[in-house]
Amino acid sequence: MNSILYITSFILIVLWAIGFFLFALGNFMYLILVIGVAALFAGLIRRPTVV
């Protein structure tokens, strides 16, 4: 987890899990999950490949 993108996506996913299981704030938690997963996939796609 060297990249700030991975750290951000990890924090967002953890916040989603906490909110979903403890507070159940409704659609806001799904929005946080979608943002976290999108950031993770964006990081995987943009990561340079080693040849």
Could you tell me if residue 25 is inside a domain?
A: yes
**Domain for residue 17, yes or no?**
yes
**pLDDT band for position 8 (cuts 50, 70, 90):** confident
pTM for the model = 0.47
CA-to-CA distance for 47 and 18, rounded, in angstroms? 29
Query: Over the stretch 27-42, which tens digit does the pLDDT of each residue have?
Result: 676 777 788 888 888 8
Query: Considering the domain boundaries, does residue 33 fall inside one?
Result: yes
First-to-last C-alpha distance (Å) of the chain: 21
Domain that holds residue 15: 4-46
Is 51 a domain residue? no
Q: What would you measure as the largest C-alpha separation in the chain, in angstroms?
A: 46
Compute how many other C-beta atoms are within 10 angstroms of the C-beta atom of residue 32: 21
Residue 1 has pLDDT above 60, yes or no: no
51 confidence band (pLDDT: 50, 70, 90):
low
Tally of domains in the chain: 1
Tokens matching residue 21: 């299981």
Does residue 39 lie in a domain region?
yes
